[in-house]
A = this chain, B = another copy of it.
Amino acid sequence: MPKLNLDMIEQTNKTGYPPVYAGQVKERWYRRLAPASGLQDFGVSHVTLKPGAWSAQRHWHVGEDEFVVMLSGEAVLVDDNGETPMRAGDCAAFPKNDGNGHCLVNQSDADCVYIAVGRPSETDCHYPDIDMHLDAARGLQCRKDGRPW
């Protein structure tokens, strides 16, 4: 069936962040819809942010575009422009290599839900606010000086 039964798709809060930076995404609960439905051209995540949770540490990808559409609740988009409210129906695009670190933060007291589209990270990812860097060649999150966490 093309329509997805979301309740049947595993929901997880796992992260590849080192413990020092993982707290903000602990209550980010997501389902990977592409492997569950046979899509290969792009990835789709169905994400619930509990109150206080972040979508990610603020970041930008060298080689992967990202797109987000809000489904319910409210989040704040944090980027170099400051804070921008995102509500149901709002869309945001993050072109690869734009150098504008971004994340969504649920500052409300209710869950928010969104869809994120992108491709698996095959390039480096930059985190402007913290001592972390995704080294794609080595496939690991390291410090900015290259030492692994």
Do B64 and A3 have beta carbons less than 8 Å apart?
no
Do B1 and A84 have beta carbons less than 8 Å apart?
yes
Do B84 and A117 have beta carbons less than 8 Å apart?
no
Number of copies of this chain in the oligomer?
2
Determine the chain B residues whose CB is within 8 A of the CB of A98 once the complex forms. 38
**Interface residues of A toward B: which range?**
35 or more
Do A44 and B67 have beta carbons less than 8 Å apart?
yes
Do B117 and A89 have beta carbons less than 8 Å apart?
no
Contact of A38 among B3, B41, B42, B95 (CB under 8 A): B95
Give CA–CA (A110, B139) in the complex, Å. 48
Determine the chain B residues whose CB is within 8 A of the CB of A38 once the complex forms. 65, 93, 95, 98
